[in-house]
Homo-oligomer: A and B are copies of this chain.
Amino acid sequence: MRDVAIIGVGMNKWGEVWESTLRDMFVEAALESIKDAGVDHLDGMYVGSMTPGLFVGQEHIGSMLADYLGMKGLPGTRVESACASGGLALKSAVLEIASGHSDIILAGGVEKMTDCSGDDATYALATAADQEYEVFHGATFPGLYAMMARRHMHEFGTTREQLAHVAVKNHKNGAKNPKAQYPFEVTLEGVMTSVMVADPMRILDCSPITDGAACVIVADLETAKKYTNNPAVKITGFGHATDNIALHSRDSLTCLEATKLAGERAYKMAGRKPEDIDVCEVHDCFTIAEIMVIEDLGFFEKGKGGTGAESGETHIGGRIPVNTSGGLKSKGHPVGATGIAQAYEITTQLRGEAGDRQVEGAKVGLCQNMGGSGGSTVVHIMEVV
């Protein structure tokens, strides 16, 4: 397999984007990434999107987006794994470059979530859970993650304050990210007294509904040199795994097995260990998710993830900075775009271009993108060459 690197990145300003459609946002992010990479053509395109069919009545977006990008003819593939769709688009692009079939591929993600009502968005998102055995009985994602949180608190003594510290830390980072949906800080008290959604998950424990797109340009190292002086950010390892889609089928509510397995696969491929990682973006769809993920990726002992944000270890300047972009919590969570935006952030960090939120001397980064309540996970490890 050939070595593969990210040589360009782009994304629009995330939020409630009333003035743009799905196609507009995607084209904006795509053109920015193409310009950043300096490439004059693409050999293919992968787009992660969870459910444009339910959100905006549009499937077949591989064709539609190639068309609106002015690149009719381009092989365009949509991939989907719920909220891990973006990470999967990147993995697919990496594999195609690695195979030698193509040299330059755009991997993007997009979701336009605010064009439908809140009820409809809750229904659309719930299609990431088991429709026949969970959703039919009334389960929603805040409810599923609330059960995980309660069990984590019961088994390990994780506190309500520790959950809140994740939100406080991520908003502190997001306040320094001009592309974030909610670029402002929140206080511990503000999180602790925010509206209850599904006990113990309060509204400030939950990632928002967001419109957004993100794109990266992926190429083999030889091609990369032809087009750009940007430091090539090499993808040295990736891992992809699934778990039981429904919570009730799992051995444990407090271990995200797909994340563990995908992480192990990525570490093995890259020849890296958790302690080699300088900066990471993880899937904090809810505050409890970040806590469980940083345990299952090996950054914290199982049960100790709650101490990460509370102690400062996961802050910028800490032992293992987590979600320097603001994470899903503050940057926003247009579900299909999230995995690509993680790669955008880690690329920016490894290039040393993250401004106020830069992790000094970051050489090795990791992205962890998760679908549903953990039914699928994609992990990438990236390093400056």
Contacts of A78 in B (CB 8 A): 79-81
| Binary contact track A25-62/B, C-beta < 8 Å → 1, others 0 | 00000000000000000001000001101101111101
Contacts of A124 in B (CB 8 A): 53
In the assembled complex, the Cα of A80 lies from the Cα of B372 at a distance in Å of 19
Asked if residues A245 and B64 are in contact (CB atoms below 8 Å), the reply is yes
In the assembled complex, the Cα of A246 lies from the Cα of B74 at a distance in Å of 16
Q: A77: which of B66, B79, B249, B257 is its contact (CB, 8 Å)?
A: B79
Minimum C-beta distance from A49 to chain B (A) = 9
Residue of B nearest to A58 (CB): B131
With contacts A51-B59, A128-B60 taken as known, whether A67 is within 8 angstroms of B99 at the C-beta atoms is no
Residue of B nearest to A241 (CB): B73
Contacts of A54 in B (CB 8 A): 53-54, 59
Within 8 A of B (CB), among A201-252: 240-246, 249
Asked if residues B60 and A245 are in contact (CB atoms below 8 Å), the reply is yes
Asked if residues A372 and B60 are in contact (CB atoms below 8 Å), the reply is yes
Asked if residues A67 and B245 are in contact (CB atoms below 8 Å), the reply is yes
Minimum C-beta distance from A166 to chain B (A) = 24
Q: How many identical chains are in the complex?
A: 2
In the assembled complex, the Cα of A116 lies from the Cα of B229 at a distance in Å of 53
Q: A81: which of B60, B130, B245, B372 is its contact (CB, 8 Å)?
A: B60
Contacts of A50 in B (CB 8 A): 59
A157 at the interface (CB under 8 A from B): no
Minimum C-beta distance from A93 to chain B (A) = 11
In the assembled complex, the Cα of A88 lies from the Cα of B58 at a distance in Å of 18
| Binary contact track A120-141/B, C-beta < 8 Å → 1, others 0 | 0001100111111001000000
Contacts of A241 in B (CB 8 A): 73-75
In the assembled complex, the Cα of A75 lies from the Cα of B241 at a distance in Å of 5
A76 at the interface (CB under 8 A from B): yes
Contacts of A372 in B (CB 8 A): 60, 63
In the assembled complex, the Cα of A23 lies from the Cα of B72 at a distance in Å of 35
Contacts of A63 in B (CB 8 A): 81-82, 242-243, 245, 258, 371-372, 375-376
Asked if residues A64 and B130 are in contact (CB atoms below 8 Å), the reply is yes
A154 at the interface (CB under 8 A from B): no
Residue of B nearest to A238 (CB): B101
Residue of B nearest to A246 (CB): B67
Within 8 A of B (CB), among A329-382: 371-372, 375-376
In the assembled complex, the Cα of A66 lies from the Cα of B92 at a distance in Å of 18
A261 at the interface (CB under 8 A from B): yes
With contacts A60-B245, A92-B92 taken as known, whether A375 is within 8 angstroms of B82 at the C-beta atoms is no
Minimum C-beta distance from A369 to chain B (A) = 13
Enumerate 20 A-B pairs (CB-CB under 8 Å) in ascending A order.
A21-B132, A23-B132, A54-B59, A57-B131, A58-B131, A60-B82, A60-B127, A60-B245, A60-B376, A63-B375, A67-B242, A67-B245, A72-B244, A73-B261, A74-B241, A76-B81, A76-B376, A77-B79, A77-B240, A98-B101
Additional pairs, 13, CB under 8 Å, beyond known A60-B127, A77-B240: A50-B59, A56-B131, A59-B80, A59-B82, A60-B80, A60-B245, A62-B81, A63-B242, A64-B375, A67-B242, A67-B243, A67-B246, A98-B99
